[in-house]
């Protein structure tokens, strides 16, 4: 049995016992998608439902996104990043810790559909995976891809692949990867201002302002988002590039110090914008200035809610 199958089985068993034992009212996990390369969010409320739960490398969405405002007791099938966001949401009072059961899944990384499409542009009918490869079939063809070649960027620099604060892990820990060293950003920052501005403007030129990135983000639970504000209207509603830029900058700022690099935003983006570039600039700043990583402890204080009298800020004259 492959490791994935084992994890799937463990998730189902545990989910059933949690529901039966009354420790959870709902298990939020993934089911097999109706399209290839997709594991869809799934809400299991009965032991029978649990048979639909699966684990795969297509579980890209961050399920912590479904916690805020929920009144039921939730068991959350969580990757390292999902678990960290769940911890963050507890810290931010979005979900009570005593109702939460984190069913941690040590994660070996999630597949980037765009990377797959780049390697196999033909229409894909089915996708089947083993522990380290993906078999794709389509009208008149079949292709095998090595999983490591098509993982998402953020999964390649994930230092917390095994959930840190899970109530229970469904499998053995997976080794952590070296964390994002931001070397590409450092190289980008070495370029001229003009080049950088061009880079970032190009990055978002296709943005539709659909806000899927926001909606997929577990940090974005505000009852009213600044983009929807009318008095004052922070942002124009058109596709004006500066309004679009402002959206991405402020979205980044709002996530600063809270982002776990789960990549849900990029997964959700229908036009494949690397929206996390903005977050990464800030992640880098947060890390360099305050050595802070979110979601690693229940009582962590996000960097914008605290200060040090000697916070470094040489640019302030």
Q: Which of residues 148-187 bind another protein (CB under 8 A)?
A: 185
Contact call for residue 286 and another protein (CB under 8 A): yes
Candidate segments 15-23, 151-159, 160-168, 189-197, binder of another protein by CB under 8 A = 189-197
Pairing relationship of beta strands 168-169 and 39-44 according to DSSP bridges? unpaired
* DSSP classification of residue 255: H
297 interacts with another protein by CB under 8 A: no
Stretch that binds another protein, among 16-24, 27-35, 99-107, 128-136 (CB under 8 A): 27-35
Q: Which stretch binds another protein (CB under 8 A): 100-108, 115-123, 147-155, 173-181?
A: 115-123
User: Cα 263 from chain centroid?
Assistant: 4
Task: Give the nearer residue to another protein in terms of CB position, either 150 or 282.
Answer: 282
Q: What interhelical angle do 193-203 and 276-290 show, nearest 10?
A: 130
Give the one residue of 43, 115, 147, 167 binding another protein; rule: CB under 8 A. 43
Pairwise CA distance, residues 252 & 249, whole Å: 5
Query: Considering only residues 197, 205, 297, 298, which one is a binding residue for another protein as defined by CB under 8 A?
Result: 197
* Residue from 50, 64, 11 nearest 258 by CA: 64
Binders of another protein among residues 56 to 75 (CB under 8 A) are 60-61, 65-66, 68
Nearest to another protein of 114, 296 (CB atom): 114
Q: Which of residues 198-237 bind another protein (CB under 8 A)?
A: 198-200, 208, 210-212, 214-216, 221-226, 228-229, 231-232, 234, 236-237
**Length of the chain counted residue by residue:** 317
Part of the chain binding another protein (CB under 8 A), chosen from 74-82, 98-106, 168-176, 300-308: 300-308
Nearer to another protein, 183 or 192 (CB): 192
| Long-range Cβ contacts of 4-9 (<8 Å, 24+ apart) | 4/55, 4/56, 4/57, 4/129, 4/130, 4/131, 6/171, 7/55, 7/105, 7/170, 7/171, 8/53, 8/54, 8/55, 8/56
Q: Among residues 1, 21, 71, 93, which is the contact residue for another protein, using CB under 8 A?
A: 93
């Amino acid at each position: 049995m492959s490791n994935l199958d084992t994890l799937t089985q463990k998730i189902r068993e545990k989910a059933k016992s949690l529901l039966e034992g009354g420790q959870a009212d709902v298990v939020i996990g993934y089911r097999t998608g109706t399209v290839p390369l997709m594991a869809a969010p799934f809400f299991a409320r009965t032991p029978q439902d649990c048979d639909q739960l699966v684990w795969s490398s297509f579980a890209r969405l961050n399920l912590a996104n479904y916690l805020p405002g929920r009144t039921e007791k939730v068991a959350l099938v969580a990757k390292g990043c999902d678990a960290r966001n769940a911890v963050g949401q507890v810290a931010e009072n979005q979900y009570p810790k005593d109702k939460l059961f984190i069913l941690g899944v040590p994660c070996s990384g999630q597949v980037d559909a765009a990377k797959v499409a780049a390697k196999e542009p033909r229409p894909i009918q089915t996708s089947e995976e083993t522990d380290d490869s993906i078999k794709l079939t389509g009208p008149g063809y079949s292709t095998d891809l090595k999983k490591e070649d098509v993982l998402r960027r953020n999964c390649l620099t994930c230092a917390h692949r095994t959930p840190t604060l899970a109530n229970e892990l469904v499998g053995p820990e997976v080794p952590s990867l070296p964390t994002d060293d931001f070397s590409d950003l450092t190289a980008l920052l070495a370029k001229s201002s003009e080049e950088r501005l061009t880079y970032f403007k190009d990055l978002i030129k296709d943005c539709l302002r659909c806000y899927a990135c926001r909606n997929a983000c577990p940090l974005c639970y505000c009852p009213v988002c600044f983009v929807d504000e009318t008095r004052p209207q922070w942002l124009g509603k058109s596709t004006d590039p500066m309004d679009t830029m402002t959206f991405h900058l402020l979205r980044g700022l709002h996530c600063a110090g809270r982002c776990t690099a789960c990549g849900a935003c990029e997964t959700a983006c229908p036009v494949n914008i690397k929206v996390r570039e903005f977050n990464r600039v800030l992640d880098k700043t947060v890390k360099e200035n305050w050595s802070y990583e979110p979601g690693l402890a229940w009582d962590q204080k996000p960097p914008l809610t605290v200060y040090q009298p000697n916070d470094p800020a040489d640019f302030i004259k």
